[in-house]
Structure 1
Amino acid sequence: MRFILPFVGIGMTCLPSIVVAQGAPPSDAPHGQVALGAGVAPEYDGASDVRLIPFVLADVRWQGISFEFRGLRGRADLASDPRFAIGPVIGARLIRSDADGPVGLLPEIDTAIEAGAFIGYRFGGDRFGQGSLQLDITAVHDVSRTHNGLLATASASYAAVRKPDTFVTVDVQTTWANADYSRTYFGISAADAVRSGLTPYRPGAGMRDVGAGLSAGHYFNRHLGVIARAGATYLIGDVADSPVTDQGGRWQPLGGVTLSYRF
């Protein structure tokens, strides 16, 4: 396990509404929560080894717009509605370099910048949001020409506990990826097969993974608290049958613990 400076993105629904968590501060003043800590993530897409990462979460609401950050992925909710959400998304996918074994003999993959949009809706719940079900669909496309791929993720999260100072949320998700993404991260050309000793492989478009997670947080006073996240995705379809995955693993864990500050 090694330490790496870049952040990784996590599920966008693992923090409670900042308004619920704090009450209702003046709408013209920025308010929200920022959490910093440490976590673990796969070394690259399809790896079995994990890397130590900085774990960064933030929710800030200002002028009726909610800005949400999860590592290197962020989004802005432009809808001034307690249930409906819609807006742009931008994020990054980490490089693949210095991998161990035959995968390390494949071409390195640069950081990819992915941009797109999301739409979501929250059903049910009490005045704090407890008992609510949040559904989201997010689609992003590589704008950096690293993999030129398109990924679409459907997720659902359930607010099992949602109090002013405490929350527990469980979530599930699944992601579809097109052939450009799959072939960049999991494909092996004839030339790369000779270099690495792996079997040539050309995956197509299809479902990439299914996953689940648990997020929990508690504030000890008005400002300070802790937030933790534990989850994993399981690779399926063509990417799961890749020799890259055979050298690594289908399970892709992601988790961390943070110290949180709200304002």
Structure 2
Amino acid sequence: MLLPDAARAQQAAPDDAAHGMVAIGAGVVPDYDGASDVRPVPFALADIRWRGVSFEIRGLRARVDLASDARLAIGPVIGPRMSRKDVDGPVGLLPEIDMAVEAGGYVGYRFGGDEFGQGSVQMEVSLLHDISGTYDGLVATANASYAAIRRPDMMLSLDVQTSWANRDYTRTYFGVTSADAAVSGLAAYRPGSGFRDVGAGLTAGYWFDRHFGVIGRAGATYLVGDAADSPITDDGSRWQPTAGLALSYRF
């Protein structure tokens, strides 16, 4: 998603002093991959620039932008993927899945836009690998964001995305072995790699004064391919909504 460039909006802090924006609040995400229910999670956003490097938080993931070019973004990413535990119904009879830790990198580029970035389009691709041993797989995501409104006191951005996952991921989160089928009553299922979902979202923010404001986010993805055909998804939903609301502070 596109967030306001707090440093540019403030037009005050020199580059060798830390400056930017942080927002902390609460949100909801699917209870597990393919679930119809949601669970509460912390919701955080941040863009902090110090000595030419940007430290960023996007939901549950943290990343660093190492590029000195204002339009180019590139760097490492790390964050968790939620666990599947204490689930009701047939899916709850499947083996529990621990929280995974994913790490990798991303690259993005921003096209067009005025001095605040309004009217710009940002294209981005990320590749994450499980480093915790939970599913030992890969997930790649491509997204595009459009900054419809981007002013010092207000922002509104729209985004679309799609993700691809290898079979290690899909078999962990959407597969059902023969033994698990006998226990849960779900049909045995052995998915392969392929596109996981398509989705869209909206992020809006408003600042009451120079420092304080509020940021909200709402979006959803729609499972496709082998993830959508899984009996786990049939028991839940192909629609995977997310939402969050946070108080923000610029400095």
**Shorter-normalised TM-score: what interval?**
over 0.9
Instruction: Return the match for 1:82 from 70, 81, 104.
Output: 70
Q: Verify: 1:119 aligned to 2:107, yes or no.
A: yes
Match of 2:9 in 1: 21
Instruction: Return the match for 2:128 from 129, 132, 140.
Output: 140
Q: 1:24 to 1:79 in 2, by over 3 A?
A: farther
Alpha-carbon contact 2:106-2:125 (below 8 Å) kept: yes
Alpha-carbon contact 1:141-1:151 (below 8 Å) kept: yes
Which stretches of structure 1, 4 residues or more, deviate above 6 A after TM superposition? Answer: none
| SS in structure 2 at match of 1:240 | helix
Alpha-carbon contact 1:170-1:213 (below 8 Å) kept: yes
Q: Verify: 1:64 aligned to 2:90, yes or no.
A: no
Distance 2:181 2:68 in 1: 52
TM-score normalized by the length of structure 1 = 0.93
Instruction: Return the match for 1:215 from 203, 215, 221.
Output: 203
| Residues 66-75 or 250-259, more deviating | 66-75
Identical aligned residues as a percent: 67
Distance 2:181 2:36 in 1: 20
Instruction: Return 5+ residue gaps in structure 2 as ranges.
Output: none
| Residues 241-250 or 50-59, more deviating | 50-59
| SS in structure 1 at match of 2:169 | helix
Match of 1:41 in 2: 29
Cα offset, 1:197, TM superposition: 0.7
| Structural mapping, 1:98-177, within 5 Å | 98-177=86-165
Alpha-carbon contact 2:2-2:147 (below 8 Å) kept: no
Distance 1:73 1:144 in 2: 15
Paired AA for residue 208 in structure 2: F
Q: Deviations over 1:29-62 (max 9, x none)?
A: 1111111112211101110001122211111111
| SS in structure 1 at match of 2:57 | strand
Match of 1:240 in 2: 228
TM-score normalized by the length of structure 2 = 0.98
| SS in structure 2 at match of 1:92 | strand
Cα offset, 1:147, TM superposition: 0.4
